[in-house]
Amino acid sequence: MKRFFICALLFVGIILPARAELKVDIIAGAAQPISIAVQKFESASGVSRTDAAAIRQVVEDDLKRTGLFRIVNHDAFPEYVKMNSMPNFQSWDAIKTQVLVQAELIAQGADKYKLNFFVWDVSGREQIEAQSLVASKNSVRRLAHIMADAIYERLTGEIGYFDTQIVFIAESGPVNNRVKRMAIMDQDGYGMRYLSDENAFVMSPHFSPNMQTIVFLSYYNDDPMVWTLDLDTGEQRRLGQFGGMNFSPRFSPDGTRVAISLVKNGITHIYEYNLESKELRQLTFGNSINTSPSYSPDGKKMALNSDRSGRQQIYVLDLESGELERITYGAGRYATPAWSPDGQFIAFTKIADDTFYIGIMSPQGKNEKILAGGWFMEAPSWAPGSRRLVYYETERAIDDIERISHIRSVDITGQNIYDIELPDGVNGVEPTWSPKLP
């Protein structure tokens, strides 16, 4: 994985006496979006105007997609406020702008940019954020995503998720002869590239916590086994020799262990493989099928699905005591649990009345909330901050000629569902959202 040098510094600007703090209401399902104006970036010699315009556009797009912000039309701007100058707050009030963003892009040598930006609370008459970012000129989109994260975090109090990536399985070709390749892209769909070739049938990719490694299932030589991919070097390694088919790999929060489902003697159980000691520990027992492990953020528990009750349901396993507790009792079957990064929710797939649903609930199985439903949808994965989920939805095929799968994102309120655009001819399944990039 190519990494860019980015340095974030506190930038001291004009600070006025504090008033009532501006915050986005992110709890309500129909929150009134905050109106935000992003000025044209100031730029000096050595700065590409195209780069400056691109950063501004990406920042606006990132914020708009959240559903929490309304971007003020550029033609409505009452003035242009130079850096280190005070806005005319009354004129911005007149067009119902609540937040004003100023920025400048400065060339530092032949290969770096410095991006300074100020964020103003118009009604509060104060500057509420000021930062300076330094990065390679080849990483203007990352600069934009980091700037958007800073604005988002200041106005919502939550962790931003714009400077992230999504790994997924890119499918192409006819329904009866699909090519499955592992691919990666920015969270907004930009810069998709393949991580595996057409000869390896791959599934279930997941990031390590430090973004160094992806663990995935590969049918290399028709042998379904778990492999790892180093994103820096491209090196692939088989995880281990476990004496049976293994699948559904997930990293522990500290990156030292990988949970897998392993088939032995016709029975599927969940095991934990220690990457340092190379030891394999069995976690579930009995004659039931146990799959889809997902660690809690503190690494002390694991959500999984099992049919030990006679129907596929979600259970929580205490990794210290070995105690297993069923948490789903609703109508239908439950699968693919995914623990949120903040520990407050478990996302799931639910199948009931010939319909698939994506939903969330508490780790105790309470307060179930359905976010989306359709003919076939699966594999919810959390963004950093636990505000949004990504999943995939497959449309019902027409005469089995064409079947289209979309990667979609939804807010935990069930609002603001959107597709992440993929290249023509590419269907996306099994997406996993990364942690914030290093």
What tens digit of pLDDT does each residue of 273-284 get? 999 999 999 999
More confident residue, 6 or 76: 76
φ, ψ at 272 (rounded to 5°):
-125, 125
Q: Give residue 64's identity as a one-letter amino acid code.
A: K
The class (CATH top level) of 166-433 is: mainly beta
Report whether 101 contacts 37 (CB < 8 A): yes
- Domain definitions of the chain by residue range: 6-156, 166-433
Question: Residue 149 corresponds to which tokens in the numbers above?
Answer: 């994260």
Beta bridge partners of 350: 334, 357
pLDDT at 292: 96
* pLDDT tens per residue, range 87-144: 999 999 999 999 999 999 999 988 999 999 999 999 999 999 999 999 999 999 999 9
Supply the CATH classification number for the domain 6-156. 3.40.50.10070
* pLDDT tens per residue, range 176-231: 788 899 999 999 999 999 999 888 889 999 999 999 999 999 987 777 899 999 99
pLDDT at 155: 96
The two domains 6-156 and 166-433 share their CATH topology (first three levels equal): no
> Once rounded to an integer, what is the mean pLDDT over residues 299-317?
96
* pLDDT tens per residue, range 39-58: 999 998 889 999 999 999 99
Lowest mean pLDDT among 291-295, 387-391, 399-403: 399-403
pTM of the model: 0.92
Strands 99-108 and 42-43: parallel
- Res 21 pLDDT > 70: no
The alpha carbon of 21 is separated from its chain's Cα centroid by a whole number of angstroms, namely 28
Q: Give residue 33's identity as a one-letter amino acid code.
A: P
Question: Residue 113 corresponds to which tokens in the numbers above?
Answer: 């940019």
